[in-house]
A = this chain, B = another copy of it.
């Protein structure tokens, strides 16, 4: 059963996020890659949050740069949830593979919000950034609540 679930997720992801050469030498590399890309993304997303929440001054150029990076990085982690990457140094919940379409839906939602976030940051308007940051953060949380172990 697990193997079928793995194949199902791989097939779902293949259409959207996995270039033909997006292979990892071993499952540990894939796990490291998805954690590393998520952490780098979180740092740039966090800077937008600090501006949105007034913890650091709003800097339109920095906001646009950081949001563009978040959008670019939003495409990366998902190719690394392939077969054999459910075990190891990971907080990934089995639900990722058991409920592959739901996981893909959460990923798609986040990516769509990341596109809007990058567009909002380009406007140079703090209010636009605040709205888009909140909407994007909600998709992060939604996915983490379901698919990441506590």
Footprint of B on A, CB under 8 Å?
19-24, 29, 32-33, 35-37, 39-40, 43, 47, 50-51, 56, 59, 61-62, 65-66, 69, 72, 76
Q: Judge whether B32 and A62 touch: CB under 8 Å.
A: no
Q: Judge whether A33 and B40 touch: CB under 8 Å.
A: yes
Kindly identify which residue among B32, B40, B56 contacts A37, using a CB–CB cutoff of 8 Å: B40
Kindly identify which residue among B33, B43, B56 contacts A24, using a CB–CB cutoff of 8 Å: B43
Q: Judge whether A62 and B29 touch: CB under 8 Å.
A: no
Q: Judge whether A40 and B47 touch: CB under 8 Å.
A: no
In angstroms, Cα B82 to Cα A131, docked, is 32
Nearest CB to that of A50 among chain B residues? B21
